Chain A
Amino acid sequence: GESVGLHLPTLSVQEGDNSIINCAYSNSASDYFIWYKQESGKGPQFIIDIRSNMDKRQGQRVTVLLNKTVKHLSLQIAATQPGDSAVYFCAENLPSGGSNYKLTFGKGTLLTVNP
């Protein structure tokens, strides 16, 4: 079954607020995580990634936090804008030797930004 899941299926925030999207994973062997953003009618778009040897990584207005102790991942979006409205997916990578890998995606969180 799914080893990556999301705590909240929907999140509604006001424009300008900070958003936090959470993700739980169950396999402690996962060594790499990615956040994707999917807007209506489009494919998932890469946002930010983090390796398991890190606990924080920052991008432009986004920060990903990784807590390996409780197998939890979060995506923080600063000063959320209407253009941030989308479904956000976390994905984990389980290494399986050599160049074989498989990304497992969570079911997604719908973020709605109210003007």
Chain B
Amino acid sequence: KAGVTQTPRYLIKTRGQQVTLSCSPISGHRSVSWYQQTPGQGLQFLFEYFSETQRNKGNFPGRFSGRQFSNSRSEMNVSTLELGDSALYLCASSSGLAGAHLAKNIQYFGAGTRLSVL
């Protein structure tokens, strides 16, 4: 079974631009979560999508948004990029079983997209 696929692997943008990152979850997984990883802040939760709906959200500004398609693939968008947005953006998928404990919804991560904002 193929793992979580994130594209592109690397991106270079300039301040003020916007960017869209893509994530294809493991086949059969319906939940996709996004995380930002930086040396200073570590892994921080952005949001989670399940069945095309945002189910959970972290503490990031509205410039960070996402969506999920009917095939469970997800995109994340960052508008008006700032230098501080430079990070590794990770996507994780899980079965997302409704009402089931997280222990039955282990998250599997992709390799990430490395975003550099100049």
Contact = CB atoms under 8 A, between A and B. Distances in A.
A44 B55 contact: no
Interface of A: 2, 32, 34, 36, 41-46, 49, 51, 89, 91, 93, 98-108
Interface of B: 4, 33, 35, 42-45, 48, 50, 55-56, 58, 90, 92, 96-103, 105-112
A98 B43 contact: no
A51 B56 CA distance: 22
Contact of A43 (B97, B98, B106, B112): B112
B106 A99 contact: no
A94 to B, nearest CB: 10
A34 B43 CA distance: 14
Given A44-B109, A99-B50, A100-B55, 5 more contacts: A43-B4, A44-B90, A44-B92, A99-B100, A108-B43
Contact of A107 (B42, B96, B109, B110): B42
Given A99-B55, A101-B56, A102-B58, A46 B107 contact: yes
Contact of B109 (A45, A51, A99): A45
B108 to A, nearest CB: 7
